[in-house]
Chains A and B, each alone.
Chain A
Amino acid sequence: MKQNRPTMYRSAVLFVAACVFALAGHLRPAQADPKAGTAFVPSTVLPQEPAADKLDIRIPLLDKSVRFAVIGDSGTGDRAQYEVAQRMEAYRQATKFDFVIMLGDNIYGSHSPRDFVKKFEQPYKPLLDAGVKFYASLGNHDDPDNEPLYKPFNMGGERYYSFRKGEVGFFALDSNYMDPRQLSWLDQNLKNSQGTWKVCFFHHPLYNDGRHHGTDSDLRAQVLPLFQRYGVNAVFSGHEHVYERIKPEKNIYYFVLGNSGKLMTHDFGEFRERVKGFDSDQSFMLVEIAGDKLYFQTIGRNGETIDSGELPRIHQ
């Protein structure tokens, strides 16, 4: 059958519009039914990940290494968080990391049971099902009472805590409320740590040049002397919704990763201490520590490697 040109154009436009509409409906997380209690099942269907052997893996996957992922400012419940989570699962299958550290703002907005499902349990379900443990620190959007008691965050009911993996001592701090009691705890625990590596993670960055928040220099004035005294090697923070790697300051490596859910584009100012910055999409990190080396890879939501490298432990 012959069609005239305007009709053909109209049909084509209608067809494209229908496709876009169908796709948008398909990708939008389902609205929670308020009567359905805590059950929230997003209908998000995300693009297929490439096969594990096609992933760009830049950490060495050494025997007996400590391997983990890092996310910060993740708990939005938005599509971007789900996509980063899906990318993480693809990399978990390939790299076998078995825990994740969370740099705060784990649950944005309200903290109803449904929020915990939508903003944590659902996006990271494949990881949780695979036995990956999440270790949370508290951000300014988190509930300082309920979240430490939420078992999947592995905080043991405390706002700040430490744990050990192989030769690495991890210290999760509450940078929202660094009171003398916490400083004294940090002093004691860093002093007693037998780990070859000491890694601290918390929400507010000690160094960064983001325009939205910037550096917390008062926090830095209190914790940095302890980090230096007891030989902390690496610090991971969030809060600023970007990825940033800072030049080592006083023998400590600093990473800012606050874009695993939230994103603040065009956020960077002039900062000579920045080695690498990324503020155009969401991301997460893979980290591997073996012997005297820390290997890292920062991966964007679309699978692109944003930053990677190998850092020696700087003896203090």
Chain B
Amino acid sequence: MGRKACRKWMSLGLFSILLVPGAIAQKGDAAGEFHDRIDNYLSAKKKQDIAKKPTDSPGKLAQEKQQTAEKTQAARPEAQRGDIFTPAVTDYFKKQIEGTLRGPNGDKVRASLRHAEPLPNVQLQVNAKYPSNLPLQSTPPTLLMNLPPLPKKLQYRIVGSALVLYDMSSGLIVDFIPGAVPAP
């Protein structure tokens, strides 16, 4: 290998070393931003939360869920799409989902989504309740492995092609990314 070629490969290597941590930092920033926003959501919610305990009474459970929903809605009166999934976070999530679908288990993830219960056209709205009479589509485990972990009471759900951030204790849609799951 000549000196010129050697110098070319060395500069390419140096460029890669500089570039890769940058890319990781970018991903880290988006995931970090996401977690900060989740923390903010939960700390606002914590003030309103009801400590639920197992009970024989379905009436009590329904009442507590309704109260939690109302208080959470009241705590975020200005809530809108993008509060959690900012453009940078959305971009990061879309890449993670796309990467999962292109990965070794991609076909299985697609099949799992395809086999889910067909849903009517659900109108998603931030800070509104997910319709309690509709099933929640299961979220493929491989996809969950590639998304940032969530606190216990929050879940990622797929509705059509949207990724929904779902608050179990209130039944509310916290935020969502339309078209997060690309068509095959």
Asked if A216 lies at the interface with its beta carbon under 8 angstroms from chain B, I say yes
User: Considering residues B115, B140, B168, which has the most beta carbons from chain A within 10 angstroms of its beta carbon?
Assistant: B115
> Could you tell me the distance in whole angstroms from the C-beta of A225 to the nearest C-beta in chain B?
12
Q: Which of B37-79 contact A (CB under 8 A)?
A: 52-59, 61-62, 65
Q: Contacts A146-B65, A151-B55, A181-B149: A221 and B135 contacting too (C-beta < 8 A)?
A: no
Q: Are A221 and B144 in contact (CB under 8 A)?
A: no
In-complex Cβ contact of A222 among B138, B142, B155 (8 A): B142
Q: Which of B68-104 contact A (CB under 8 A)?
A: none
Q: How many residues of A contact B (CB 8 A)?
A: 41
User: Cβ of A156: which chain B residues have Cβ within 8 Å of it?
Assistant: 54
In-complex Cβ contact of A217 among B112, B133, B138 (8 A): B112
C-alpha gap A109/B141 in the complex (Å): 25
Asked if B125 lies at the interface with its beta carbon under 8 angstroms from chain A, I say no
Asked if A4 lies at the interface with its beta carbon under 8 angstroms from chain B, I say no
> Could you tell me the distance in whole angstroms from the C-beta of B154 to the nearest C-beta in chain A?
11
Asked if B162 lies at the interface with its beta carbon under 8 angstroms from chain A, I say no
C-alpha gap A115/B59 in the complex (Å): 10
Asked if B8 lies at the interface with its beta carbon under 8 angstroms from chain A, I say no
C-alpha gap A157/B54 in the complex (Å): 6
Asked if B161 lies at the interface with its beta carbon under 8 angstroms from chain A, I say no
Residue of A with least CB distance to B140: A218
Q: Are A180 and B145 in contact (CB under 8 A)?
A: yes
> Could you tell me the distance in whole angstroms from the C-beta of B116 to the nearest C-beta in chain A?
7
In-complex Cβ contact of A216 among B54, B112, B133, B150 (8 A): B112
C-alpha gap A148/B141 in the complex (Å): 21
**Secondary structure call for the B interface:** loop
Q: Are B144 and A38 in contact (CB under 8 A)?
A: no
Q: Which of A195-230 contact B (CB under 8 A)?
A: 204, 213-219, 221-223
> Could you tell me the distance in whole angstroms from the C-beta of B60 to the nearest C-beta in chain A?
9
Residue of B with least CB distance to A222: B141
Q: Are B58 and A140 in contact (CB under 8 A)?
A: no
Encoded as 1 (CB less than 8 Å from any B CB) or 0, chain A from 50 to 65 comes to: 0000000000000000
C-alpha gap A33/B133 in the complex (Å): 20
Residue of B with least CB distance to A204: B138
Asked if A152 lies at the interface with its beta carbon under 8 angstroms from chain B, I say yes
Residue of A with least CB distance to B52: A149
Which of A84-92, A170-178, A277-285, A305-313 is the interface stretch? A170-178
User: Cβ of A110: which chain B residues have Cβ within 8 Å of it?
Assistant: 132-133
Q: Are B155 and A150 in contact (CB under 8 A)?
A: no
User: Cβ of A178: which chain B residues have Cβ within 8 Å of it?
Assistant: 141, 144
Name 10 A/B residue pairs within 8 A (Cβ), A-sorted.
Answer: A111-B58, A111-B62, A113-B59, A143-B171, A149-B53, A149-B55, A177-B139, A180-B145, A216-B112, A221-B108
Q: Which 5 pairs of residues, A with B, have the shortest CB-CB distance?
A: A116-B58, A218-B108, A178-B141, A113-B59, A218-B112
